């Protein structure tokens, strides 16, 4: 079976390639009802992790739900050793996500609409377009540890572009061959501009915010309800806020364009809120997504005829306010997927289908560079290695090589991922440290010394050094620094401190 798996903030959706069709897989809950998703929630029961429907059942008995784990993956300081606190217990994030994916695999095999006994082949999985290297690495590692064979990792809006072409292919012409994918999920927002020619897709640009999504609308609605009820958050009983936010999520997802009022319980009172008030308070969140999209939109304004459609995907794009605001900006070309919460999974299944013939040329979406020593350690200089619009492949590695004579005895590489560079060539905005690598250019320092304590001095004649930066098909960056004069080398995935010895 060829599957596409969209690991969402609140819901994980799976689609399967079936003879040119890409149906969404349904999962059976503990009450023997089917759902088109597997809930992205976990809980601790007697010290053991449970997930999905079992976690929801445990929550009704008093267990605390672990929600929005995907947002933790967007933490700029994320490493494979990162932990989160759950009721005073420290849980390794990698262990939690691996355990969730293990439960997902078991559900696919034992309690879903997939054919029983048929083996699961290589799967295509999605990540936010704006995901940094550590987020991609941890997600990939968790899938692998859970027993999945990952064939490829695609950016979520790029996968949704496949679904658009499959479903709306008649709107793509030689003149209107660009699709702007607007992906508002439960916890993240991404947008990608995709050029389409037949089955060939090329990402022209991607932008995103790692912390903007349905969770923010839910919390905003909860604040409005508490204000209307005259109740302070700190006066709520233990875990009552979690229950209130869940009520608000359900009320939000039940809104239609015709809904005028919604009701939410707070304690023993039912609070009625005008939907117009909720939309008025939520509009700045939608406008924030438009501001982030501006670099992509600016390129279209000069040639608007290139736009085949602005495609709304992601579960949170179902909020009626979202298409309303976007249509005010883009007019009739705003098209909402008929399955907004499943669009990415369907696109991933199309990518997994060897008979579909779709191809994709991607971009990094985030730049990668390094701060390094200069002037005998008296200053720090920044080198941009990979620009945010650097072309990458979903099937082959991309390699960037740099060679130079070492000017100092020690190289202290401080890696970062960034959103953009200022006029002076310095990284600004959305800066994510990606760890360090300390390399002894002087062979005398390769005897176990503490390189952090050694003074940085200039060399009269340094060795020839090579830096090789490799981007694998999953978007994960690996660095190798080699002394070409004697072969001494250090390889690292820049997510944690690394020192040669």
Give the per-residue pLDDT at 497.
Answer: 39
- Quick check: helix, strand or coil at residue 260? coil
Tell me the mean pLDDT in the region 434-448.
Answer: 90
pLDDT in tens, 383-431: 999 998 888 888 889 999 999 999 899 998 999 998 888 888 888 767 7
Alpha-carbon span 282 to 262, nearest angstrom: 15
CB 344 within 8 A of CB 154: no
* Total count of domains within the chain: 3
Q: Which residue has the tokens 């923010």?
A: 216
- Whether residues 89 and 233 share a domain: the answer is no
Strand-strand pairing, 27-28 and 42-45: unpaired
The arithmetic mean of pLDDT across residues 122-132, rounded, is 91
Residues 336 and 368 in one domain: no
Residue pair 434/461 in contact by the 8 Å Cβ criterion = no
Q: How far apart are CA 215 and CA 212, in angstroms?
A: 8
Could you give the maximum distance between any two Cα atoms of the chain, in Å?
79
The residue among 258, 281, 304 that closes a domain is 281
Q: Do 252 and 220 have their domain in common?
A: yes
Q: Is the pLDDT of residue 199 over 60?
A: yes
Together in a domain, 475 and 330: no
Give the helix ranges, DSSP H, for 113-239: 133-145, 156-167, 214-229
* 263 and 310 together in one domain: no
In percent, the amount of the chain with pLDDT more than 70 equals 96
Q: Are strands 420-421 and 427-428 parallel, antiparallel or unpaired?
A: antiparallel
Label residue 499 by pLDDT band (50, 70, 90).
very low
On whether both 298 and 201 belong to a single domain, the answer is: yes
| Range name among 9-13, 41-45, 491-495 with the lowest pLDDT average | 491-495
Q: Is the pLDDT of residue 483 over 50?
A: yes
- Residue 37's pLDDT is what? 97
DSSP-derived secondary structure for 42-68? EEEETTEEEETHHHHHHHHTTPPEE--
- HSE (CB half, 13 Å, CA atoms) of 402? 15
If residue 86 lies in a helix (H) or strand (E), which one and from where to where?
Answer: strand 83-86
42 and 185 inside one domain: yes
Say if residue 485's pLDDT is above 80.
Answer: yes
> pLDDT class for 239, splitting at 50, 70, 90?
confident
Q: Which domain holds residue 223?
A: 214-281
Report the b/e string of 449-488 with b at 16+ CB within 10 A. Answer: eebeeeebeeeeebbebebbbbbbbbbbbbbbbbbeeeeb
Q: Which two tokens stand for residue 281?
A: 């308070």
Q: Tell the residue number behind the tokens 């399955």, with chain if given.
A: 339
Q: How confident is the model at residue 299 (pLDDT cuts 50, 70, 90)?
A: low
Note the pLDDT tens digit of each residue in 41-80. Answer: 999 998 899 999 999 999 988 888 899 999 899 888 888 8
pTM for the whole structure: 0.88
CATH of the domain at 14: 3.30.420.40
Last residue of a domain, one of 342, 362, 382: 362
The confidence score (pLDDT) of residue 379 equals: 74
Q: How confident is the model at residue 151 (pLDDT cuts 50, 70, 90)?
A: very high
The verdict on 229 and 295 lying in the same domain is: no
Res 300: pLDDT: 66
* Residues 447-464, mean pLDDT to the nearest whole number: 87
Nearest one of 205, 243, 203 to 222, comparing CA atoms? 243
Whether 351 and 465 map to the same domain: the answer is: no
Q: Which of 281, 306, 337 is the last residue of a domain?
A: 281
Q: Give the pLDDT of residue 496.
A: 43
High-pLDDT (> 90) share of the chain, %: 59
Say which CATH number the domain at 398 has.
Answer: 2.60.34.10
| Helix ranges restricted to H, 23-132 | 53-60, 69-73, 93-110
Q: Using one digit for the tens of pLDDT, what is the confidence trace for 259-281? A: 999 999 988 889 999 999 999 99
pLDDT at 456 over 50: yes
Domain shared by 317 and 173, yes or no: yes
pLDDT at 194: 93
CB 79 within 8 A of CB 496: yes
- At 435 the pLDDT is 83
CA 235, CA 319: separation in Å to the nearest integer? 30
318 and 446, same domain (yes or no): no
Average pLDDT, the chain: 90
CATH of the domain at 255: 3.90.640
Angle between helices 133-145 and 93-110 (to 10 degrees): 50
User: Do 277 and 299 lie in a common domain?
Assistant: no
């Amino acid at each position: 079976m060829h599957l596409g798996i969209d690991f969402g903030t609140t819901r994980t959706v799976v689609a399967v390639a079936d003879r040119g069709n890409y149906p969404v897989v349904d999962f059976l809950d503990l009450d023997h009802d089917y759902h088109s998703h597997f809930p992205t929630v976990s809980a601790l029961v007697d010290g053991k992790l449970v997930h999905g429907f079992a976690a929801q059942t445990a929550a009704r008995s008093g267990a605390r739900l672990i929600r929005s784990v995907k947002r933790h993956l967007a933490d700029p300081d994320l490493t494979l050793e990162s932990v989160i606190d759950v009721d005073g217990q420290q849980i390794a994030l990698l262990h939690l996500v691996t355990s969730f994916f293990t439960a997902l695999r078991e559900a696919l095999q034992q309690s879903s609409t997939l054919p029983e006994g048929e083996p699961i082949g290589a799967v295509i999985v999605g990540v936010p377009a704006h995901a940094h290297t550590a987020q991609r690495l941890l997600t990939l590692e968790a899938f692998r540890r859970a027993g999945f064979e990952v064939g490829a990792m695609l950016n979520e809006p790029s996968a949704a572009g496949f679904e658009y072409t499959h479903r709306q292919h008649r709107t793509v012409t030689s003149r209107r061959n660009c699709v702007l994918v607007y992906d508002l999920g439960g916890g993240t927002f991404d947008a990608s501009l995709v050029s389409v020619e037949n089955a060939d897709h090329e990402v022209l640009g991607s932008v995103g915010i790692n912390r903007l999504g349905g969770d923010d609308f839910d919390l905003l609605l909860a604040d409005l309800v508490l204000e209307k009820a005259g109740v302070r958050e700190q006066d709520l009983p233990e875990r009552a806020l979690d229950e209130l936010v869940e009520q608000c999520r359900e009320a939000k997802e039940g809104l239609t364009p015709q809904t005028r009022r919604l009701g939410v319980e707070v304690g023993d009172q039912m609070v009625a809120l005008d939907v117009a008030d909720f939309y008025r308070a939520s509009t700045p969140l939608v406008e924030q997504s438009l501001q982030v999209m501006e670099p992509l939109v600016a390129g279209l304004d000069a040639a608007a005829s290139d736009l085949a459609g602005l495609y709304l995907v992601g579960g949170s794009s179902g909020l009626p306010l979202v298409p309303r605001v976007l249509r005010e900006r883009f007019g009739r070309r705003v098209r909402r997927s008929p399955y907004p919460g499943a669009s990415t999974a369907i696109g991933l299944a199309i990518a997994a289908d060897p008979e579909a013939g779709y191809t994709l040329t991607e971009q990094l979406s985030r730049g990668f560079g390094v701060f390094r020593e200069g002037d005998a350690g008296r200053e720090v200089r920044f080198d941009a290695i990979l620009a945010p619009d650097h072309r990458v492949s979903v099937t082959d590695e991309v390699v960037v090589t740099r060679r130079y004579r070492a000017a100092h005895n020690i190289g202290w590489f401080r890696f970062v991922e960034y959103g953009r560079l200022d006029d002076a060539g310095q990284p600004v905005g959305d800066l994510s440290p990606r760890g360090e690598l300390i390399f002894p250019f002087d062979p005398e320092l390769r005897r176990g010394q503490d390189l952090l304590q050694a003074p940085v001095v200039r060399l009269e004649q340094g060795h020839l050094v090579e830096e090789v930066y490799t981007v694998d098909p999953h978007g994960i960056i690996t660095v190798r620094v080699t002394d070409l004069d004697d072969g001494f080398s250090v390889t690292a995935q820049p997510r944690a401190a690394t020192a040669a010895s």
